[in-house]
Amino acid sequence: MHLQSYLKERCDSGGISAAEMGVMLALAAAAIAITALIRRDGIDADLGAETGDANSDGDTQKALDVRAEALILSHLKESDAAYLLSEEQPTPIALPRQTAPLIVAVDPLDGSSNIAVNVTVGTIFSLMPWDGNLPRPCRGRDQLGAGFFTYGAQTTLILAFASDARPQCFVLDEDKGHFIALGAEVEIAATTKEYAINAAYAQHWHAPIQQWKTQVLADAYSMRWVGSLVADAWRIFRRGGVFLYPADARAGMEAGRLRLVYEANPIAFLVEKAGGLAVNGGENILDLTPQELHERTPLLFGSADEMKILIALHKELDA
C-alpha cells in the first residue's frame, strides 16, 4: 500500500485529521528530495562540508543540515503547520498558515557528521497540537504523531499517530517516487541479547549503567553502535535491542547528549507504541514536560524486559 493511500484511509476513518495527513505528505515529499540530494553527495556538492556556522546548541552545521532544513521548510509552508521547531534554529519559525492546528518539531538531519563517510543519517519529526498561543513543545505523551526517515541503503520511514495501536514502516520506491508499506505492524521484541552504547565513555558512566554493563558482559550480549540515532533505532524496531545515551560525568553531559523535543520524544512515542519502554533513567520520557526547546535528556529505550532491569537499577542506585 502506498503511503498516500494509507494516510487517506486513516483520515477517512477519522484516525487522523486532514491537517495531520497533509503535514505527513509534506514531510514525505521533503524526505524524497533529501534522498535525491544525498544520492548526489560528492558529485554535485560536498554535503558533509562544514558551513562555518553552529546551530543553537553549538554543534557545527554541515551543508546537508542546512539544505535538509530548507527542503522541509519549503514543503511545510504548503501544509497545515503553523510553526516549525528545528534543531538548527534557536527559536520557532512561523509558517504562512498561522491559523493551522499543528506545530512540527524536527531534527532535519540526525547524525549529519556521518554523511561524509556514507553512514545512515535521518530526519526525526514530531507532530504537536497548537492552541494559538506561544508555540511551545508539548509533553511527549501529548504528541499527535511522530516518526523518522532514514537515508541509508534504502530510504525508510517509521510512523505512528496517537490513534494507532502500533507503528507502521515504509520503504521508498526510488524508481516510482513513493513510499510503500512494509506490511506488518511494528512490535519490539520484549527480550534481547543486543545493545547500543558508546563504550568509549565507560569511565564516565554513573553506577546504574556501570552495573548493568557488567551484567550484559557476563551474559555475552552483542553490541552495535552506529553513532547515528536513527540507524540504531531502526535496527531496534526491526530486530529488538536497547539503546543507551545516558547522562555521564563528563562536563556538559549532566543531561546526556540527545534533545528531548525533536529526538527523544518522537523516538519514545514510537517505542511505546511498539510495546517497548523509553526512559531518562527512572522516568518515562513521554511524561517529561519540556522547559526549553533545545533541552537535553538522557535517553534509554528498547526491549521492555531489558528496560525494566535498567529502570530498577536507576531506582536502586541513582544518587
Interface contacts to ligand P6P, rule CB under 6 A? 110-111, 113, 198, 227-229, 257
Our answer to whether residue 219 is catalytic in this structure is no
Please identify which of the residues 59, 142, 185, 187 carries the catalytic annotation: 59
Please identify which of the residues 73, 84, 109, 127 carries the catalytic annotation: 109
- Residue 157: closest CA among 134, 183, 123: 123
Report the relative pairing of strands 102-110 and 178-181 from DSSP bridges: unpaired
Our answer to whether residue 65 is catalytic in this structure is yes
Smallest gap, in angstroms, from Cβ of residue 233 to ligand P6P?
9
Our answer to whether residue 87 is catalytic in this structure is yes
Rg (alpha carbons) of the chain, rounded to whole number: 19
Our answer to whether residue 173 is catalytic in this structure is no
Please identify which of the residues 20, 80, 88, 232 carries the catalytic annotation: 88
Comparing every residue's Cβ against ligand P6P, the nearest one is 229
Look at the block and give the residue holding cell 556501570.
210
What percent helix, strand, coil does the chain show, rounded to 5?
35, 25, 40
Smallest gap, in angstroms, from Cβ of residue 241 to ligand P6P?
13
Our answer to whether residue 109 is catalytic in this structure is yes
Our answer to whether residue 41 is catalytic in this structure is no
Smallest gap, in angstroms, from Cβ of residue 145 to ligand P6P?
21
Smallest gap, in angstroms, from Cβ of residue 3 to ligand P6P?
24
Please identify which of the residues 107, 194, 232, 248 carries the catalytic annotation: 107
Classify each residue of 149-172 as buried b or exposed e, where b means 16 or more C-beta atoms within 10 Å of its C-beta. bbbbeebbbbbbbbebeebbbbeb
Give a three-class secondary structure readout of 18-37: HHHHHHHHHHHHHHHHHHHH
Which residues belong to the active site?
59, 65, 87-88, 107, 109-110, 263
